[in-house]
């Protein structure tokens, strides 16, 4: 079997498992206490962090209420359902509208059990620091497990990040001040990008590329509203 087919089959199986978790949980609302408990999501170690997490995380962007203004109630219901289903990886970004605010109103009581990631699209040290301070305040937490550099699109941007006044300085200082848990060599300085041309550079630097499946927010939303298209 080719690598492409193996990965495709893995994703299909994983989505089926997660769909089963959501469906089972929704059905339980209409059954007795003797109903079968929901399935458990498979887990994997995230990069080189040695942290074991469910294979799916809940992303705070995309076409979902988690990044829409005026949808706090809908967003809170989705986040709460994710917690009930065993999600422990939550991803957001400074640029995701009210997403950080919504997460910050639901997650704090569960913080010690969660892996919380946010992102900055600033490439310089000062700009990244400002966004980190705002993210911590909005998320109502005193640290992030993972702080990612967002939407990297070119080698030139990567060079800027690692320049003397680049965003990497903010991450190093944040780690020293215990505002961010992981940085290289742990392999957990996150990069998000849709450009294959920079993946080889990311790999050589020992960085971690992550992408939570934001579509799961729709799946969770539909489970809260049976019959929704």
Annotated catalytic residue 143: no
Cα angle, residue 21 at apex, residues 116 and 225 outer, rounded to 5°:
90
Cβ contact 167:123 at 8 Å: yes
The b/e string for 181-198 (b: 16+ C-beta within 10 A; e otherwise) is bbbbebbbbbbbbeeeeb
Q: Is 43 helix (H, G, I), strand (E, B) or coil?
A: strand
Q: Residue 76: what pLDDT?
A: 95
Residues of the chain with pLDDT under 50: 3, 5-37, 184-188, 212-219, 221, 223, 225-229
Average pLDDT, the chain: 75
Q: Residue 201: what pLDDT?
A: 64
């Amino acid at each position: 079997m080719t690598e492409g087919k193996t990965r495709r089959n893995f994703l299909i199986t994983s989505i089926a498992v997660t769909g089963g978790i959501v469906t089972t949980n929704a059905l339980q609302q209409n059954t007795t206490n003797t109903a079968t408990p929901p399935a458990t999501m498979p887990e994997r170690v995230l990069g080189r962090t040695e942290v074991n997490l469910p294979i799916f995380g809940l992303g705070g962007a995309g076409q979902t209420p988690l990044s829409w203004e005026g949808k706090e109630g809908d967003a809170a219901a989705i986040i709460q359902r994710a917690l009930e289903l065993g999600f422990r990886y939550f991803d957001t970004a400074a640029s995701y509208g009210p997403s950080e605010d919504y997460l910050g109103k639901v997650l704090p009581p569960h913080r010690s059990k969660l892996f919380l990631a946010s992102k900055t699209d600033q490439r310089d040290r000062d700009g990244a620091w400002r966004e980190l301070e705002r993210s911590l305040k909005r998320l109502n937490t005193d640290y992030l497990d993972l702080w990612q550099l967002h939407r990297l699109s070119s080698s030139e941007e990567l060079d800027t990040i690692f320049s003397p006044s680049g965003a990497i300085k903010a991450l190093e200082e944040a780690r020293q001040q215990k505002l961010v848990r992981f940085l290289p060599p742990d392999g957990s300085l996150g990069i998000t990008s849709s450009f294959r041309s920079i993946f080889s550079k990311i790999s050589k630097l020992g960085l971690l590329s992550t992408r939570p499946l934001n579509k799961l927010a729709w799946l969770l939303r539909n489970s809260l509203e049976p019959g929704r298209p």
